[in-house]
Amino acid sequence: MLEQKGYHETSMDEIAARVGIAKGTIYIHFPSKDALVIALLERNMQKFLAGIDAVIEQHSTSRARLEALLRYIMTDLLQKQMHLFSSISHSLDLKYQEPEGEARLGGLWQRITERVVALIEEGQATGEFKRALSTQAMLYAFFSLFATRHLKKHIVNDEHTSQRLVDQLIEIYFTGIAVESRS
């Protein structure tokens, strides 16, 4: 429901009705809607991290693993949960509402970042990625591909357009950081 309607448009009454329990029962487990949302995000991010690891393990080169990771993020995270993430990231300040939950989510994002950094550094070490570009710049470019405000209208609505956009974003990313083949 949160993914469909967004954070502010969804009430605890609606959530309780959807799952078939009294609103008070939700408050036994979650002191606020913010806490409930953080718990949902944390659960989803744990699954997402496991998915990242599975995707990375399927490929042998740094470029193939990073490309597979880009595709996974764009199709799993963005297509399936775009509305919720966009709603939360633009209208909820978790630092003030739920600082402990925000810290846990930050720790999960840090683990994702560490995986991307490791792939970039490995690619630089093996000569797959340009050493002249800093890891920080490549990391920034990587995460910039997921700016939800701009992708929301393109990724969510049309699967054909979405797949084409994903392919093109991946091409742009790798054309910029990959070492040119000397055939």
* The pLDDT of residue 37: 80
User: What whole-number distance in Å separates Cα of residue 117 and Cα of residue 78?
Assistant: 21
* The pLDDT of residue 90: 47
The string of pLDDT tens digits covering residues 89-102 is 544 555 556 667 66
Asked whether residue 143 carries a pLDDT value surpassing 90, the answer given is no
Question: Which of 48 and 151 is assigned the larger pLDDT?
Answer: 48
pTM, two decimals, is 0.72
Kindly report the average pLDDT of the chain as a whole number. 78
Model confidence at 85, in pLDDT bands (50, 70, 90)? low
Q: Which one of 3.90.1310.10, 1.10.357.10, 2.170.150.20, 3.30.470.20 gives the CATH number of domain 33-177? A: 1.10.357.10
Asked whether residue 108 carries a pLDDT value surpassing 80, the answer given is no
Model confidence at 115, in pLDDT bands (50, 70, 90)? very high
Residue pair 26/34 in contact by the 8 Å Cβ criterion: no
Question: Which of 49 and 180 is assigned the larger pLDDT?
Answer: 49
Q: Once rounded to an integer, what is the mean pLDDT over residues 152-176?
A: 71
Q: How many helices (H) and strands (E) does the chain have?
A: 11, 0
Q: In the chain, how long is the greatest CA-to-CA distance?
A: 67
State the CB neighbour count (10 A cutoff) for residue 99.
10
* The pLDDT of residue 91: 46
Q: Once rounded to an integer, what is the mean pLDDT over residues 36-42?
A: 80
